[in-house]
Structure 1
């Protein structure tokens, strides 16, 4: 690989065959100049931009962050790969790098973000949340900036989007908010606290998470199995009233209408999670 441009002591733009690559390693470019060769053994990380725009964005980002942030991000990525057993792609590495850089700039001004999705992230993605808390420890070790635990939620949102086929962080936040709002509607309707350790609760949450993904993708079930729906309505009248509230919320927020099948599944799950309350009435 030959150096085309030195971005800083740790980052260089190189050419390998017909490809333009960005390579990263501590002190990589020290005492080197354009035209010099770099071997694969000297490189810790290789980025393969798929367009000139991406190349420019990657180059700007990597050349404008300091060594401590690069080291912290690299350590976080290695931790994530080890714990989740998945290779982290360039997208996640660079969005994490950008996030850590921006968070540190906010911290200098005493500005810390408390995400409205803290409860949802802790509840639905506990492993990513725990990894994010470890990430805060790594950031402190490398930068001496001590973030509050609430900052872990923002990092966790990046880890949730680890999959190669990504849903945007914005879409993930919308889906989690939808799940949280539906759970709130259920609790308010029945005037109960749900048993979050129960099997029925976990089944409900699992159903709601997939339901939220279908809503976001416009893939709500289209069949209209009315006879079963009628029977379930009669068996669980309170669950039916609760689902009507959920249906109204869904239309107001997403302009989506529940099909009979979705309505039926929701009634069944809600009746199970609230069956103690219904049996008392």
Structure 2
């Protein structure tokens, strides 16, 4: 196996003997000058194939300890869930954990609720969410709120590929394009459709539309964070409401405040980091 690019001290982008690209974990594999041949394969603890290259930049930005805990959680999910998992589960989960840690520091008194609806619908994934929260506390010395069990559980639900690949009753791609144009018109920008933040937004939209179609929405209480973002970014809020209206008109289903909040977060990232003016 050849290491071709460092992500951090213990993670590197590699090539196996069949020239297939993968993400490899191993103590110190990111130290040597790249590229180099990894001769001792026993030093590799975990490997992940088929990850979208648009996520590589994110992997470099996430703190090393957060990324490694996320990898341990994903490894547990691979063993526990009897299905194919989306290869982008790892960067998505690492990004979420990093955001949750940041949010906890900024909104220490914010109360969010554990969703019993999700526990009833997805008991195995909820158990994995509990494992993840306990592991984060053990490894990162941070006690996340119980609501993160629900949030992390939904990452596993979303990553189970047979669920998202089932045919939809409407044209998802066309709806996503309409939503993208709505954002572009409001902010007078041209969105880079190959950028990471846009692709993360699209993935979020696909899963949300699927949950809406299957009437599997859940409601938590992110009111404090919602009001803070609304006050801080009124134009982002108005755009999220506009996107919600498009979705509601198409699917005849109401967008929850929590989902509007996540739309605001994604739209803000796109506008700040991922546009071509």
1:144 aligns with 2:145: no
Does the CA-based 8 Å contact 2:84-2:162 persist in structure 1?
no
- Further displaced range: 117-126 or 91-100: 117-126
Kindly report which structure 2 residues correspond to 1:30-179, keeping only aligned pairs within 5 A, or say none. Answer: 30=31, 32-39=32-39, 40-49=41-50, 54-55=52-53, 57-86=54-83, 88-110=85-107, 114=112, 118-167=115-164, 168-175=206-213, 177=215
TM-score by length of 2: 0.55
Instruction: Mark the CA change 1:33 to 1:153 in structure 2 (over 3 Å): closer, same or farther.
Output: same
Q: Deviations over 1:219-262 (max 9, x none)?
A: xxxxxxxxxxxxxxxxxxxxxxxxxxxxxxxx977359xxxxxx
- SS at 2:162 equivalent: coil
Structure 1, gaps ≥5 residues long: 182-250, 257-281
**Higher RCO (CA-CA < 8 Å; seq separation 6+):** 2
- SS at 1:165 equivalent: helix
TM-score by length of 1: 0.54
Kindly report which structure 2 residues correspond to 1:174-253, keeping only aligned pairs within 5 A, or say none. Answer: 174-175=212-213, 177=215
Partners of 1:147 and 1:63 in 2: how far apart?
Answer: 23
Does the CA-based 8 Å contact 1:158-1:169 persist in structure 2?
no
- SS at 1:27 equivalent: coil
After superposition, the CA RMSD in angstroms is: 3.2
Q: Deviations over 1:200-222 (max 9, x none)?
A: xxxxxxxxxxxxxxxxxxxxxxx
Structure 2, gaps ≥5 residues long: 165-205, 220-247, 254-277
What residue is the counterpart of 2:200 in the other structure?
none
- Displacement of 1:84: 2.7
What residue is the counterpart of 1:11 in the other structure?
11
